[in-house]
């Protein structure tokens, strides 16, 4: 049984217009300098990556891999979070989510969705060209505005939303099946699939599609007050990716889970840099070692307080310190002895 690989870094929060964050060679070298062994590439950032070209050209994918290797890092997989979000958007969020799509489809929900679906299929082809076994994404949401059951939800509303969500995702997941790549959906508020129960609702409607998997991120479970260790045990067979992100939940007499529309810095629940929050990562990494997870541990930096580069550098060391080199033998093997069936039966008094 192999150990977790890492640390990796999700580049989305760091990409920008200033060097070294504006080109793939430069940001990959910066990540290596921070102590990372790999990077997760956001396919929605043209400064770093050309998704259409990657879908069409294995040579381009080899070139991208070579750029990263020369900088000192591998590529873990591809992220399609923003495109996945646009596969299903409730009209209440149309204007807000238009920013995730090209200007030519703004204000055109049907065309925007078609663009997102095509993007997802391009990412499947690109993943095949890279030879990646996993990818990470969001499901999008149709039912999210109805999260709290007041006013009372009409009978059948949630079922209809999840039926439609599965209908939209099935052909995309079939494309990933052809590519040999899993889609690890990040279980995340703002998506219809935001906890274990909703993942099961989605998976059931997809007839347990083999490519429908989970990108585990404990920070979102802290903010929901969900048992993030038990989650690993329950969904061990479906977890294919791991975002290492910290969070804290400090309810007061004024606010709790919903946090009264406060900015991130003032919320009862907020994301923190690794080691500054409440996630018990010793328990998390132990749980992953127990289930035999062999994928990457990818730092996703989000913090309401700490400066980004400081968080990134601390995060690399943090993950290195928490990865458990999995043993290939039992600690008490020294006390064992050879045995055979006759010896075993004698010990049981059956000889």
Spell out the domains of the chain, with CATH numbers in brackets. 5-347 (3.20.20.150)
**Cβ–Cβ < 8 Å for 31, 56:** no
Q: What is the pLDDT along the chain (351 residues), one digit of tens a residue?
A: 678 999 999 999 999 999 999 999 999 999 999 999 999 999 999 999 999 999 999 999 999 999 999 999 999 999 999 999 999 999 999 999 999 999 999 999 999 999 999 999 999 999 999 999 999 999 999 999 999 999 999 999 999 999 999 999 999 999 999 999 999 999 999 999 999 999 999 999 999 999 999 999 999 999 999 999 999 999 999 999 999 999 999 999 999 999 999 999 999 999 999 999 999 999 999 999 999 999 999 999 999 999 999 999 999 999 999 999 988 887 777 667 777 899 889 989 997
Residues 6+ apart with CB under 8 A from 51: 43, 44, 119, 122, 123, 126
182-186 and 134-137 beta bridge pairing? parallel
**Cβ–Cβ < 8 Å for 217, 160:** no
- Write 107-116 long-range contacts (CB < 8 A, 24+): 112/86, 113/86, 113/87, 113/88, 113/89, 113/168, 115/86, 116/83, 116/84, 116/85, 116/86, 116/87, 116/140
Give pLDDT tens digits for 123-173.
Answer: 999 999 999 999 999 999 999 999 999 999 999 999 999 999 999 999 999
Enter the pTM of the model: 0.95
Which pLDDT score, from 0 to 100, does residue 334 have? Answer: 66
Looking up tokens 């989650």 gives 231
Q: How far apart are CA 187 and CA 272, in angstroms?
A: 18
Give pLDDT tens digits for 64-93.
Answer: 999 999 999 999 999 999 999 999 999 999
Distance (Å) of CA 228 to CA 63, 165, 185, 319? 38, 25, 16, 18
Return the SS3 of 135: strand
What is the number of other CB atoms lying within 10 angstroms of the CB of residue 50? 14
- Residues 161-200, buried b or exposed e (16+ Cβ, 10 A)? bbeebbebbeebbebbeebebbbbbbbbeebbbbbbebbe
**Cβ–Cβ < 8 Å for 247, 240:** no
Q: How far apart are CA 28 and CA 6, in angstroms?
A: 15
Residues 6+ apart with CB under 8 A from 174: none
Tokens of 59: 């040579």
């Amino acid at each position: 049984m192999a150990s977790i690989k890492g640390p990796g870094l999700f580049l989305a929060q760091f990409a920008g217009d200033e060097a070294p964050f504006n080109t793939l060679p430069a940001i990959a070298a910066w990540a290596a300098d921070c102590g990372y062994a790999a990077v997760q590439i956001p396919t929605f950032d043209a400064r770093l990556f050309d998704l259409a070209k990657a879908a069409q050209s294995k040579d381009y994918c080899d070139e991208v891999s070579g750029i990263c290797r020369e900088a000192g890092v591998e590529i873990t997989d591809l992220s399609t979070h923003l495109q996945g979000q646009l596969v299903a958007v409730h009209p209440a969020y149309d204007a807000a989510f238009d920013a995730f799509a090209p200007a030519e489809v703004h204000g055109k929900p049907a065309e925007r969705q078609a663009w997102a679906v095509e993007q997802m299929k391009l990412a499947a082809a690109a993943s095949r060209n890279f030879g990646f076994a996993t990818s990470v994404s969001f499901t999008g949401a149709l039912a999210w505005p109805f999260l709290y059951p007041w006013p009372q939800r009409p009978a059948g509303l949630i079922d209809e939303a999840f039926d439609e969500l599965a209908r939209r995702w099935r052909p995309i997941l079939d494309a990933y099946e052809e590519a040999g790549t899993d889609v690890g959906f990040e279980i995340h508020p703002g998506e219809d699939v935001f906890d274990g129960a909703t993942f099961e609702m989605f998976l059931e409607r997809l007839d347990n599609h083999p490519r429908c998997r989970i990108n585990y991120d404990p920070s979102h479970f802290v903010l929901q007050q969900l048992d993030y260790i038990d989650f690993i045990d329950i969904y061990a067979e479906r977890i294919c990716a791991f975002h290492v992100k910290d969070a804290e939940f400090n309810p007061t007499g004024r606010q709790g889970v919903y946090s009264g529309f406060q900015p991130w810095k003032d919320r009862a629940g907020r994301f923190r840099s690794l080691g500054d929050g409440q996630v018990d990562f010793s328990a998390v990494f132990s749980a992953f070692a127990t289930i035999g997870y062999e994928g990457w541990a990818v730092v996703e930096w989000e913090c309401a307080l700490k400066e980004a580069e400081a968080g990134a550098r601390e995060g690399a060391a943090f993950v290195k310190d928490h990865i458990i080199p999995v043993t290939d033998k039992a600690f008490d093997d020294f006390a064992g002895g050879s045995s055979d069936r006759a010896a075993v039966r004698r010990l049981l008094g059956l000889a």
